[in-house]
Amino acid sequence: MDNLASIPPRDKAEILAQALPYIRRFHGKTMVIKYGGNAMTDPALQADFAEDVVLLKLVGINPVVVHGGGPQIETALKRLGKKGEFIQGMRVTDHETMEVVEWVLAGEVQQDIVGLINQAGGKAVGLTGRDGGLIRAKKLRMPDRDDPNTFHDVGQVGDIVQIDPSVVKALQDDQFIPVISPLGFGEENESYNINADVVAGKLATVLQAEKLLLLTNTPGVLDKGGTLLTDLSAREIDELFADGTISGGMLPKIEGALDAARSGVNSVHIIDGRVPHALLLEILTDQAFGTMIRSH
């Protein structure tokens, strides 16, 4: 925050005044934020993120945070001598891996985020999919990308059956900031690890969120030449899938984003979590700090 000292008061006032139309437009609206990547592991960016979320809540916007934890899970598995295995960007999750995933996500990672937000002056509450029956799931049947008739077994990885947002709504109405671990439960009370981007997308749809914001380690969606594509429609994204421009870890992210955009979420933003205060810049200024996906 040191660099703010060098900004003349008049410019500071101008910056604040610019935010006003956005604060007015989004007052009372829900924003679902997928928190991951560097923003989650770099201490300075963690503090920025927590401040941004608290500020949004204070100006009357309702942030809901869904977090990942890939690197932290990887570190914990390494400590146990287990090697992470992925198929088409999805982590293969056997029973032992699932136990690690649960204690890393619902324990360490979630509590870190709750602590950071509370330290910044907010009131965060951690939830998993079990709390209030939030995320009901079933085993994911993952079709092979080249042969849709073949399915991969990725273990205790879940497909969302239903989201019951009543616990999230109750917390929001009560000035709390929900922080959600992407863990679901099945018919037999078994646990499922669900892709956090998918959870964020479905939750944004069910909550009829104004925006879904996905923090990533890239500037957004890039074309083949490495140029940022700031504004994309669903049709344009289908073309980027088809020609291989979008691949790897970006696939589940974009698929979740696209589903949300097609299901009534006004806009989906894929933003660079390595930029300090990326969240505020995206929501409260004119500047586009990533890729916006429109529903049509």
Phi first, then psi: what are they for 186, rounded to 5°?
-110, -175
- State yes or no: 266 annotated in a binding site: no
CB 164 within 8 A of CB 158: no
Question: How do the pLDDT tens digits run along the chain, 296 residues long?
Answer: 456 677 788 887 887 888 999 999 999 999 999 998 878 889 999 999 999 999 999 999 999 999 999 889 989 999 999 887 888 877 889 999 999 999 999 999 999 999 999 999 999 999 999 999 999 999 998 898 889 899 999 999 999 999 999 999 999 888 999 999 999 999 999 999 998 999 999 999 999 999 999 998 888 888 888 888 888 887 788 888 878 778 766 777 788 888 898 888 988 999 999 999 999 989 998 777 788 888 76
CA distances from 295 to 30, 137, 150, 175, 257 (A): 18, 26, 30, 30, 10
Q: Which domains does the chain have, with CATH numbers?
A: 27-217 (3.40.1160.10), 220-263 (no CATH)
- State yes or no: 193 annotated in a binding site: yes
Q: What is the pTM of this model?
A: 0.91
Structure tokens at 281: 């810049």
- Identity at 120, one-letter amino acid code: A
CA 23, CA 56: separation in Å to the nearest integer?
9
CA distances from 76 to 133, 230, 269, 292 (A): 27, 36, 30, 34
Name residues whose C-beta falls within 8 Å of residue 290's C-beta, 6 or more positions apart in sequence.
219, 220, 228, 230, 269, 270, 271, 272, 278, 282
- State yes or no: 107 annotated in a binding site: no
